[in-house]
Amino acid sequence: RILLQIDLSGADINSAVYLASAVPCGGFDGVCLYARENAPAPVEIVRHIRSRLGHLAILYRASLSEAIVESGVDKGKKTVSVSERLREISELAGAGVDAFEIGLGGTDTPWLLKPSSLLPAGCYAEAARAVRNHLSYIGLPRPVIAFGRLSYPDLDEKLLQGSYCDLISLDGAGIDDPA
């Protein structure tokens, strides 16, 4: 599947919907939306994009980097809580997001956007599992995609079988080792 990526950071509803309008005529299968922390009204933007795209896919990349901030690694940074982020993810699911790619890292923790080799393989799996469990619990199950040093078939299978996630993203693995 080929998805048009749209960064919602600083985007207003009209410009995001305008970009998404290119999806059907551009041969894309849907959109991959992402936003940096505190992006304006992503739920309203998703509702408008869903009304434009109909059955085409909407994937949303979300970060639970708030868990890192709350745990004390970066105390003092202004961010939303994990429960607020989960509430936003619930609202996004209700607005029409078909699947979520979950990880850590953002403007508040840029060193986590792409996990280094110093972090363990599957280092973001718990974040994906938290979102997957939350969405199932509230009755809005959606496929959850995990990423973060997931290029080890045995570990990937364990995460899939253990209900951490529904899919594994290997995009970083292709960049690290394109062979």
Sheet holding 57-63, edge to edge: 3-7, 30-34, 57-63, 99-103, 144-146, 167-168
Half-sphere exposure of 74 (CA within 13 A, CB side): 16
Tokens coding 177: 């080792």
pLDDT of residue 162: 92
What DSSP string runs through 27-50? T-SEEEEE--TT-S-HHHHHHHHH
Higher pLDDT, 27 or 118: 27
Q: What is the Cα Rg of the chain in Å? A: 16
pLDDT of 72 above 50: no
Q: What is the pTM of this model?
A: 0.84
pLDDT of residue 56: 93
Pairing label, strands 3-7, 144-146: unpaired
Residue 1 CA, distance from chain mean position: 17
pLDDT of residue 11: 76
Q: What percent of the chain has pLDDT over 70?
A: 77
How confident is residue 92, by pLDDT bands cut at 50, 70 and 90? very high
